[in-house]
Structure 1
Amino acid sequence: MTAYEKFSKSIHNFGRLSMVLGMIAVLLPPMLMTFYFGFNPGITAIITGAISQISVSGAFYFSEPIANYPIVGAAGLYMSILSGNSVNLKIPAAVSAIAGSGYKQGTDEGSMMGTMGIAVSIYVATFFVIVSTIFAQTVIVNLPENIKEVLTLIIPALYGGIFAQFSVKSFKTGIFALVIAFVMSKIVALIPFNATFLITLVTVFSSIFFARTQLETINKNS
């Protein structure tokens, strides 16, 4: 057993414990509001809200662990899921750390570098969340409107940067993912209920399948 395998084995024990503690921390406030203070929106509102949230982010329950594990490994996956903002903050940090280290994604060394990148991003994000909570509201309110509009482009810019970084390695897979995402967005627009999660679900898994077929083709020809 390699050093990284021993590290991963120990991480699972601590990771499972952290997930359980995280669920308790998330559920504790609504439980206190319901059973201690007596504020309850009713089962109908709870079910409606749950369905609405699942329809938007339910696909990430399946797609994110599969798509992110080769980049960040088990430890990084536990941290990114528990701390949140995995796609727009943790994964870019992991990708940058791996690229800067010179190791390849999917290797033990690359996963370790990705884990370290996520760990650093959590500390940095926590610091700026505290600072922004105290000061940002006053600053943002007084910013010019054109600056506020530019700030809304931060997330698309991050997505575009990550997509370009991976697409350079396989232009065919990148084009395939864009086409599937575009087609799915048009299909979902025709569905009467909110099924935007289908765009992510279909695009991620179909792109993985396409990339696998491209890899198999390369291996056969080599």
Structure 2
Amino acid sequence: MKIQNYSYEDRTHLFGRIWILTALVLIFSFPIAACIYYDAWPGFTPVLKGLLGVAPIFWTVGLIEVLTFVPMLGTAGSYLAFVTGNLTNLKVPAALTAMENMNVKPGTEEGEVVSTIAIATSSIVTTVIIAIGVALLVPLTPILNSPVLKPAFDNILPSLFGGLAVVYVSKNWKISIAPLVFMVVLFLIAPSLSSSVGVLVPVGALIAIGGARILYKKGKL
């Protein structure tokens, strides 16, 4: 069957899988090329020891992100986001904000279109900004390392999610109470967990779903 005869969803999965596999090949190509060029092979045991320290964390976060973000982003948006990366900090907020502004819901055809356009635009803008940043890195280094700007850089992520929280919490404040209280207490007890955003976002989502279920059964929603 010709590709033109495929449905939109089938073509999305076809090209999405091609780009995912292409990205995977590119990721492994650099270390393999470096080993070939320098004739330096680390061996299976050292690589395995290095992977045992970090791979389980990335596997867990990767699985959780797929289960959490795919229903929000849709098929095409998910493929694009996972290929370009930085979902939690950039792609998901961009997609959710775009859908909010267009008054469409995740999981609908309209939501998928808006999500895909938002993620694509975000990827292009990010690439352009990174290219400009690399070109201007040396001249801007004294400014970026300025103690005056350090508080601003330390609060970029909280301000980003804070803006999204205002919108969603104001619309569903009853549902937000349980995950909000849990996260506040958790971070007060263990502040070091603030670096584990990839794992804690799905945990907060599960708490919100459970709280919403309880409120629904009690007729509070």
**Which TM bucket (shorter chain)?**
0.7 to 0.9
Equivalent position amino acid for 2:163 in 1:
G
Q: Which amino acid aligns with 1:152?
A: D
Q: Distance in 2 between matches of 1:130 and 1:26?
A: 19
The CA distance in 1 between the partners of 2:182 and 2:174, in whole Å, is 12
- The alpha-carbon distance between structure 1 residues 111 and 47, as it changes in their structure 2 partners (threshold 3 A), is same
Q: 1:201 to 1:88 in 2, by over 3 A?
A: closer
Contact 2:89 2:157 in 1 (8 A): yes
Closer, same or farther: CA 203–50 of 1 in aligned 2, 3 Å:
farther
Would the aligned equivalents of 1:103 and 1:110 in 2 still touch at CA under 8 Å? yes
- Shift in CA distance, 7/139, structure 1 to aligned 2, threshold 3 Å: same
Q: Is the 8 A contact 1:188 1:196 kept in 2?
A: no
Q: Deviation of residue 206 (structure 1)?
A: 3.2
Counterparts of residues 198-217 of structure 1 (less than 5 Å): 199-200=200-201, 202-214=203-215, 216-217=216-217
Q: Offset at 1:103?
A: 1.8
Structure ranking higher on relative contact order (CA contacts 8 Å, 6+ apart): 1
Structure 2 CA distance for partners of 1:50 and 1:111, relative to 1, 3 Å: same
Unaligned 5+ segments in structure 1 are: none
How much does 1:58 deviate? 3.7
**Structure 1 residues 49-58 or 8-17, which shifts more?**
49-58
Confirm whether residue 62 of structure 1 aligns to residue 63 of structure 2.
yes
The question of 1:174 aligning with 2:176 is answered yes
**Structure 1 vs Structure 2: percent identity of aligned residues?**
25
1:87 corresponds in structure 2 to: 88
Shift of residue 67, structure 1, vs aligned partner: 2.3
Alpha-carbon distance change, 137 to 68 in structure 1, aligned in 2, over 3 angstroms: farther
1:87 Cα deviation from its structure 2 partner = 1.4
Cα separation, partners in 2 of 1:196 and 1:100, compared to 1, 3 Å? closer
Amino acid at match of 1:59: T
Q: 1:39 to 1:206 in 2, by over 3 A?
A: farther
Distance apart, 1:78 and its partner CA: 0.7
Shift of 1:42: 4.9
* d(CA) in 1 for partners of 2:15, 2:73: 17
- Does the aligned pair in 2 maintain the 1:59–1:197 contact within 8 Å? no
Which residue does 2:3 correspond to in 1? none
Task: Give distance in 2, aligned partners of 1:221 and 1:46.
Answer: 53
The Cα shift of 1:69 comes to 2.3
- Mark the runs of 5 or more structure 2 residues left unpaired by the alignment: 1-5
Deviation at 1:177, TM superposition (A): 1.4
TM-score (norm 2): 0.79
Aligned counterpart for 1:163 among listed residues 115, 140, 165: 165
C-alpha deviation, 1:79, in angstroms: 0.8
Worse-superposed segment, 109-118 or 173-182: 173-182
**CA RMSD after TM alignment:** 3.2
Tell me the CA shift for residue 213 of structure 1: 4.5
Q: Is 1:121 aligned to 2:119, yes or no? A: no
Count of aligned positions: 214
Q: Partners of 1:198 and 1:92 in 2: how far apart? A: 17
